[in-house]
Amino acid sequence: MSKIKVALIGVGNCAAALVQGVYHYRGIKTGGEAVGLGRLSLGGYHPRDIEFVSAFDVDARKVGKDLSEAVFSPPNNTTKFADVPRLNTPVLKGPTLDGVGEFLKNIVKVDEAREVDVAKSLRDSDAEIAINLLPSGAVKASQWYAQEAIKAGCAFVNTAPTFIASDAVWNKRFEEAGLPVVGDDLVDQVGATILHKTLLKTLANRGVRVSQTYQLDVGGGTESLNTLERVKAVKRSVKTRSVESALPYKASVVAGSTDYVDFMKNRRDSYFWVEGLYFGGIPMRLDIRLNTVDAPNAGSVLFDVIRGVKVALDRGLSGSIQSISAYAFKHPPKLVSLEIAERQFEEFIRGERKQ
């Protein structure tokens, strides 16, 4: 199979985990060996087929460095689990726009170099998929990069909670450009949203009547700090609607409230609380704590998304790809149940479903 040429918009912790992941799994030949990976092969593509050909950031400690060095440069603080060889892919200076909030001004050191022509850089690198890994709240920056991707002829993956793939106007722009777009707001592999939905769905299927539930996050990465400052309400709204879809009836649901503790670094604690009634109207309560390193949570899902978008490109598809978006994102164009999203994604990869 051909290489999947990827551009990274933002070289933060998630980018660090994603790049490491390619080299961690590149020598694995069987699914049984691929610990932590949902699918070793997807659409005929292996993780080693992913090639990072372009990258953009604004931090002076990353701009100008090879991507293999930049992913381990401050303020990145996620776990190192693989060595990355020199990639000969320099990190280029992109525009800041609204990418650095007030809470991050003392953490991110904005490089004073001149901004590159992003669309031209994408074309020159032969990138075919641009992945938006900008922080939550970078609405203008996310939209600007989406437009640059269109100008460069790149498919667009929007991991941020800025509405692009789920927005009718942006969908039309990508359709007219003949390019696929997926999003919005990536679901983690072992994340609070997917676990919360699975838990509630299981309880409801077994006859439990859930009355109240919440899920709260506390983390130490820059994304947690950024979310606390700028998009706490948006993230809470998106995650709550996503979680509510797991129940066949109405309940009091709150999901996604975030706080920041600096010494946690890239670790995150997620707290789940559920109250309801089971057989005989007897009350039950459930209280769970999940601890993870945040950045690697994006890896397995992004591997599926990247390869899924490559399949869409191979088939000449354009606009929002519903099956990929519903499977991997909290705010797709159309929200469906976990079971339907999984089935539609598999059908799409097998060629049994167009979008």
26-35, 53-62, 175-184, 252-261: segment of lowest average pLDDT? 252-261
Task: Answer yes or no: is 338 within a domain.
Answer: yes
Domain boundary among 276, 293, 310: 293
Banded pLDDT at 230 (limits 50, 70, 90):
low
Q: What percent of the chain has pLDDT over 70?
A: 97
What does the pLDDT average to over 100-110?
A: 82
What's the whole-number mean pLDDT along residues 169-196? 95
In a domain, 9, yes or no: yes
Average pLDDT of the chain, as a whole number? 93
Q: What are 191-223's pLDDT values in tens digits?
A: 888 899 999 999 999 999 999 999 999 988 777
What band does 4 get if pLDDT is binned at 50, 70 and 90? very high
Q: Which pLDDT score is estimated for 232?
A: 67
The last residue of a domain, from among 248, 269, 293 = 293
Same domain for 120 and 43, yes or no, is: yes
Rounded CA-CA distance 78/296 in Å is 8
Domain boundary among 277, 293, 309: 293
Q: Return d(Cα 5, Cα 149) in angstroms, integer.
A: 13
Containing structural domain, residue 281: 192-293
pLDDT at 147: 98
Query: Residue 221 has what pLDDT?
Result: 75
In a domain, 74, yes or no: yes
Look at the chain and count its residues.
Answer: 355
Same domain for 179 and 268: no
The count of domains in the chain is 2
pLDDT of 126 > 70? The answer is: yes
Over the Cα atoms of the chain, what is R_g?
20
- Do 29 and 96 lie in one domain? The reply is yes
Residue 153, pLDDT score:
98
**Given this model, what pLDDT does residue 256 score?**
79
Kindly provide the b/e burial profile for residues 145-156, where b requires at least 16 CB atoms within 10 angstroms of the residue's own CB.
bbebbbebebbb
Cα 1 from Cα 17, distance rounded (Å): 24
Which CATH number do you get for residue 213?
3.30.360.10
More confident residue, 257 or 57: 57
- Domain harbouring 161, CATH code: 3.40.50.720
Q: Do residues 225 and 141 share a domain?
A: no
Residues 333, 271 share a domain: no
Cα distance between residue 245 and residue 333, in whole Å: 14
> Which pLDDT score is estimated for 31?
87
Residue 2, pLDDT score: 87
Mean pLDDT of all residues in 183-192: 91
Q: Tell me the pLDDT tens digit for each residue of 280-331.
A: 999 999 999 999 999 999 999 999 999 999 999 999 999 999 999 999 999 9
Q: How far apart are CA 301 and CA 131, in angstroms?
A: 13
288 and 304 inside one domain: no
Q: What's the confidence (pLDDT) of residue 137?
A: 83
With beta carbons less than 8 A apart as the criterion, state whether 224 and 270 touch.
no
Using CA atoms, how far residue 316 sits from 294, 302, 324, in Å, is: 34, 21, 15
Q: Is residue 332 in a domain?
A: yes
Does 342 reside within a domain?
Answer: yes
Sorting pLDDT into bands at 50, 70 and 90, what band is 101? confident
Question: Is residue 355 domain-resident?
Answer: no
Is there a cis peptide before residue 75, judged by omega within 30 degrees of 0? yes
Q: Are 155 and 282 members of one domain?
A: no
Residue 277 C-beta-side C-alpha neighbours within 13 Å = 6
Q: Are residues 171 and 312 in the same domain?
A: yes
66 and 102 in a single domain? The answer is yes
Confirm whether 80 is domain-assigned. Answer: yes
Going by pLDDT thresholds of 50, 70 and 90, the confidence category of residue 231 is low
The residue that leads in pLDDT, 87 or 257, is: 87
Mark whether 13 and 76 lie in a shared domain.
yes
Structure tokens at 13: 């912790």
Is residue 176 located within the same domain as residue 316?
yes
